[in-house]
Chains A and B, each alone.
Chain A
Amino acid sequence: MTAQEVVFTLLGAVAVGSAILVVTTRQLVHAALWLVVSFGALAGAYLLLTAEFVAWVQVLIYVGAVVVLLLFGIMLTRAPIGRMPRGGPDDPLDSGNRWAALAVALATAGVLITTLVHGFSDAVIDLKAEGGGAEPLGASLFRTWVLPFEVLSVLLLAALIGAIVLSRTDIGPRDREGRR
Chain B
Amino acid sequence: MHALYPLVVSALLFSVGVYGVLARRNAILMLMSVELMLNAVNLNLVAFDALWRDRLHGGQLLTLFTIVIAAAEVGLGLAIVLLVFRNRKTVEVDRLTELGEARRDPAEARRGADAETSAEPVAAAREGDGP
A contact residues vs B (CB 8 Å cutoff) = 2, 4-5, 8-9, 12, 15-16, 19-20, 22-23, 28, 31-32, 35, 38-39, 42, 45-46, 48-51, 53-54, 57-58, 61-62, 65-66, 69-70, 72-74, 76-79, 91-95, 97-98, 100-102, 104-106, 108-109, 112-113, 116-117, 120-121, 123-127, 131-132, 136-137, 140-141, 144-145, 148, 152, 155-156, 159-160, 162-163, 166-167, 169-170, 172, 175, 179-180
Contact = CB atoms under 8 A, between A and B. Distances in A.
A120 B23 contact: no
Given A46-B46, A73-B82, A101-B23, A51 B60 contact: yes
Interface of B: 1-9, 11-20, 22-29, 31-33, 35-36, 39, 42-43, 46-47, 49-51, 53, 56-58, 60-61, 63-65, 67-76, 78-83, 85-86, 91-92, 94, 126-127, 129-131
B75 A163 contact: yes
8 contacts: A22-B16, A31-B32, A35-B35, A51-B46, A57-B64, A69-B75, A112-B15, A170-B131
Which residue, B32, B42, B94, B131, has most C-beta atoms of chain A within 10 A?
B32
Contacts, number: 261
B36 to A, nearest CB: 5
Contacts of A32: 32
A97 to B, nearest CB: 7
B23 A23 contact: yes
A22 B71 contact: no
